[in-house]
Every structure is written in C-alpha cells, then in structure tokens.
Amino acid sequence: MNIRYKSTRNSASVVTASQAILKGLAEDGGLFVPEQIPKLSVSVDELKGMSYQETAYTVMKEFLTDFTEEELWDCIKKAYDSKFDTEEIAPIANVDGVYYLELFHGATIAFKDMALSILPHLLTTSAKKNQVQNEIVILTATSGDTGKAAMAGFADVEGTRIIVFYPKNGVSRIQEMQMVTQKGKNVEVVAIHGNFDSAQSGVKEMFENKELAKDLNARGYQFSSANSINIGRLVPQVVYYVYAYAKLLEQEQIQPGEGIHVVVPTGNFGNILAAYYAKQMGIPIQKLICASNENKVLFDFFQTGTYDKKSREFVLTTSPSMDILISSNLERLIYQIAGCDDKKNAELMRGLKEEGSYQITEEMKAGLRDFEAGYATEEQTAAAIREVYEKTGYVMDTHTAVAAHVCREYQAETKDTAKCVVASTASPYKFVKSVMTAIDERYAEEDEFRLLEELKRVSGTELPGAVREILNADVLHSLECDVDNMEQTVRNLLDL
C-alpha cells in the first residue's frame, strides 16, 4: 500500500513520506498525518524474535512507502548502532511489577535519541530522492532534550545546518552543558529569554513566514524541523512500543493477545501519540495513560474536553522537558477524532492561537476513550523516586517518576490488573540534582556535578559517556536573544 501524507489543516495538500519529512511542517501551519494508519504486515508472534533494527524496518516500511528497502535499511543501520550502550537499544526493566521501557541508552541519554539518531539519515535520503539542491536548515525549539539529540544527530552532516533555541534557565544544568558544548561546524545554539512555548511558537511562525522562505531560497537554504512536528520524528517512535510488546511476549511476561497499558510522561504529546499509532497498527494496547507534571494542560483537557492554556501559570518544574502548555502533536489526534475534518481542526487551532483555548464536541470526546490521564505534583514526583529506590534500588529520573506516580495512582483507583509499560524517557544522570535531592534532601545543597559520582554509587550504574564528555568540555555557544528577536537572530546566523 502506498501511504501518502496530508495536512491536518488542508486535506487537499497531499505529499509523499519523503516530502513530508523534508518540509517538517505543512505550508498552512498544519502537521502531516498519514492518509490512513497502516496495519503491521506480520503477526505479533512473528515480531518476538526480531532485533530492534528488524522491528524498526518492519514498522517503518509501512509508513515510509516511497523509500526503497535498501534506503530504509541504510538509515536504520546507521542509526541504531554502537552509539547506544545496550545491544537491545531499548531494554525493559521489571521493577516491582511495572515494566520500565528504558529509552535513554543513546548518545544523549534521553528518549529523543530513539528518533533523532535516524532523522538525519531519513532527511538526507529524502533530499536526494526529491533532487533538493538547497542546504537544509534544521530549525528547532527544545525544552531540553530534543536540542542536544538533534545537534548530535546533525553535527557535520553534509548539506545541513542546525539552529536550536532553548529557554534560558528552563533546562537542567546537565542539559544546558550538553547543548552549549556541542561541536560541529554546522551547529548553532541560542538561549531565549522566555519559556519553551515561546520558543516553539517563534519557530512555527518562522516556518509559516513566506517572506523568510523566499529570502532563504535566494541564499540556497530551506527550513526543515527536528521537532516531533516532523513525521520523520514520530514514525521511529512507534517502533519502540511495538518492540516492547514483542519483548514482553518473548520473555513470557504476557500471553499472545494480552492487553497492556502504556504510561507516558507527556509534554508535546508526540511520544504518547506514537503509542496510539502502535495501537492502531495492531499492538494490543488497552489504555494510553497520559502523565503530566504541574503544567497539567493535557490532564485538564482529557477531563473536560477543553484545551485552555490562557488561564494558567507556566510552572518551572524538576521535569523541565514537560514544562509545556502548547502540546503541538495533540493536533494530530484532534484531527483524527474530528473525523479527519481539516476545516474543523483548523478552526480549533485558530481558537488556540487567537483566544488561547478550544472546546471539542461530545462526539469528539468519544474518540478519546483509549486515553486516561493523571498528573503528579512536585512532591509526588520526588516521593515516587524515593519510594521506588528504597523498595527496589532502582533509580529513575524526574520525568519517568511523573509517569510512575500516575501509573500507581491509576492502578490503585481502578483495581485494573493489566500490566503497565512506563516509558522511561531520560537517564537519572541528566537530572542528577533533582533525583538525588528526592532520594535524600541533604543533597539539595550539593553541586550538581559533584553529585554525579554519588548517583553512580547509589544506583550501581556507570556514568554514561554523554555525561563524561561534558565534564571538561569547552563552552562553544553563548548566544542569547529575546523572543521577538528570534527571526532576526536566524537571519544573522545565515547571513540573510
């Protein structure tokens, strides 16, 4: 089956998979979605013995139908190799009856590596397929992890440049150091005086700016995105949910056809949307449990059917990658539950942009029945880290802890005994100060970098290479700008 992609705001705008990857965002500001979610071409039982790479090919070939077998395998082999510190790529830890899908064994110790290891290869292959002569400028906003993972993936990749905006004082010290020490002749990092939503909105506005696109083209450039608005980011994320189910089957933790729940700490909604796509492909996922921190705009949406960012405070938490009030990928789900009605979706998104909120219909609410939602306060997040550690010795990061709390709360309230897979999205080393303080408050006064050795001792795990390499690295990027100066900063960097 040949799968093509259309914009959530204009169904007449249809492109191939490679064109959608190249564009990143549709010209009307919509997101690209497949005309239909494909089904897996093999049985779940056949997935059991597959490696991560084989699973990736089995899933991605159904979505990226204009890639040849050779092209897709080439991308997969370059992505999922020795840069991951485990052969399984995404191992599963059984901790007190909850299955933690560890997505942080890549080059930058966060789940973004799972997709951003392959996106540069998908993008450069797409450029060749479409005879693109321009240099591709990856323009990205990050709440902490996407930026470093994207820079690591695109550093010195021929025919590309990458510019990353992150919120100054809105990421952990380790996250910031990972970004500002990134090497690469084609890499630029800019701290903005604002929050992630400001950075993300500024990037989207630049994508929609026709005059800027014209000026870029005149200089031999064109924009693409490494954010999860790019379908080339989303499709590789579907893989690890398919892989997790197959591994649980292989380990005889579940029976064939047995339903599981997936709990995902959620900010921009891409990671949980990928689990939803895996369910649509045929994986027996019963509930998709959306876990929020104190920026609980998604929790409130699932409770009420109203998405409202205007009447709430933006909270800086110890799980900064989830400090988001505009969850871009939710638009893909809204489009689907609106019956793929592009006009209805465009109207709702206009309401969000102009009035800061929108309300879905009762009929659309029925389309959310696969989802549950919960949230964790800062105190509950810290308690989840401490309690799991004291009981089992397993140390998790703050984002995973949000999901662990929501998972435990859901099980207690519903008495549901289905097995739960928690998406473990970052290494505890990435948020060492918050993690160690949760375990014992005496660590609150310690220097963040000194605590790395203490976490190593407490967790019994090795210091990841991604952390070791920044300890003595030089700061290479110090550029800062105001939110309303983002476009001019890009123009200056590209000499437009």
Residues 426/399, Cβ–Cβ less than 8 Å? yes
Q: Which of 6, 23, 112, 204 is catalytic?
A: 112
Question: What is the C-alpha R_g of the chain?
Answer: 21
| Rounded (to 5) percent helix, strand, coil in the chain | 45, 15, 35
The answer to whether residue 343 is catalytic is: no
Which positions ≥6 away from 257 have C-beta within 8 Å? 44, 284
Contacts of 171 (CB under 8 A, 6+ apart): 142, 143, 144, 179, 320
**In whole angstroms, what separates CA 36 from the centre of its chain?**
22
Structure tokens that stand for 151 in this block = 């820079």
DSSP string, 44-89: HHHHTT--HHHHHHHHHHHH-TTS-HHHHHHHHHHHSSTTSSSTTS
Backbone angles phi, psi at 222, to 5 degrees: -150, 145
SS3 of 372, please?
strand
Taken in order 224, 225, 229, 235, is the CA torsion positive or negative? positive
Residues 352 and 306: beta-carbon distance below 8 Å: no
For 427, other C-beta atoms within 10 Å of its C-beta total 29
The 10 Å Cβ neighbour count of residue 331 is: 24
Main-chain dihedrals φ then ψ at residue 161, nearest 5 degrees: -130, 155
What is the token pair recorded at 130? Answer: 């479409």
Residue 69: CA count within 13 A, CB half-sphere: 2
> Could you tell me if 228 and 328 are in contact, meaning their C-beta atoms sit under 8 angstroms apart?
yes
CB 109 within 8 Å of CB 452: no
Q: How many angstroms separate the CA atoms of 314 and 59, rounded?
A: 37
Of 108, 118, 56, 52, the C-alpha closest to 425 is 108
- Collect all residues with Cβ–Cβ distance below 8 Å to 442 and sequence separation of at least 6: none
Which residues are paired to 32 by β-bridges?
Answer: 7
Residue 341 has a CB neighbour count (10 Å cut-off) of 17
SS3 for 137?
strand
By annotation, the residues acting in catalysis are 112
